[in-house]
Chains A and B, each alone.
Chain A
Amino acid sequence: NAGVTQTPKFQVLKTGQSMTLQCAQDMNHEYMSWYRQDPGMGLRLIHYSVGAGITDQGEVPNGYNVSRSTTEDFPLRLLSAAPSQTSVYFCAASGDWDTEAFFGQGTRLTVV
């Protein structure tokens, strides 16, 4: 099983550009989340979803949008990239609130 797949793995953007980070899971899990990890720090929750059609904000939602039209996909949109959004982004999926989250391999984003 592929589990959680993130694309792309690496991306360089110019300030002001927009882009979408893709996340797909094949485990039929209801919970999906996006995190960012800055150097030497923990993961901070950007947005999450508890099922198709339902999304909510996490700790650091500003500058990001999400939607969840299917169980499988949970894309993260950067509206107007800023250097402060340079980070590693992780997508995760879990079956329920009390079960482990499975993580994608991460997307390393650099905004110049």
Chain B
Amino acid sequence: AQKITQTQPGMFVQEKEAVTLDCTYDTSDQSYGLFWYKQPSSGEMIFLIYQGSYDEQNATEGRYSLNFQKARKSANLVISASQLGDSAMYFCAMRDNNNDMRFGAGTRLTVKP
């Protein structure tokens, strides 16, 4: 069965610095996708970045990058040059081709001015 683990309930980062949010996963499938979503206090779910299990390059989207280490089954999100608006809950999720998307418990990121 799929399992997504986010071990950091809360993280703090100084504005303009980089921060890494951890995510590990467990699946027996060879084909799977890893996703990160942001949930601000307003409650909506905002897609940030995707990494496929067969992608050789780490995914990047603007200030977001995904540090994908397949052998360690980790998919950490790196946010560079943090902004006050980055304060939110961040969820790691995975989907393989036998199941639907499942989420970790989330990390609450607070950006300090």
Task: Name A's B-contacting residues (CB within 8 A).
Answer: 31, 33, 35, 41-45, 48, 50, 56, 58-59, 88, 90, 92, 94, 97-103, 105-106
> Which B residues are CB-close (under 8 A) to A33?
100-101
Shortest Cβ distance from residue B31 to the other chain A in the assembled complex, whole angstroms: 8
Q: How far is the CA of A57 from the CA of B48 in the complex (A)?
A: 27
> Which A residues are CB-close (under 8 A) to B106?
41-42
Tier of interface size on chain B: 20 to 34
Partner of A100, one of B31, B35, B96: B35
B41 within 8 A of A: no
Shortest Cβ distance from residue B7 to the other chain A in the assembled complex, whole angstroms: 13
Number of A-B contacts (CB under 8 A): 58
> Which B residues are CB-close (under 8 A) to A100?
35, 47, 50
Shortest Cβ distance from residue B17 to the other chain A in the assembled complex, whole angstroms: 26
Partner of B102, one of A31, A45, A105: A45
Task: Name B's A-contacting residues (CB within 8 A).
Answer: 6, 31, 33, 35, 43-45, 47, 50, 52, 91, 93, 95-97, 100-106
- Could you tell me if B101 and A92 are in contact, using CB atoms closer than 8 angstroms? yes
Shortest Cβ distance from residue A9 to the other chain B in the assembled complex, whole angstroms: 10
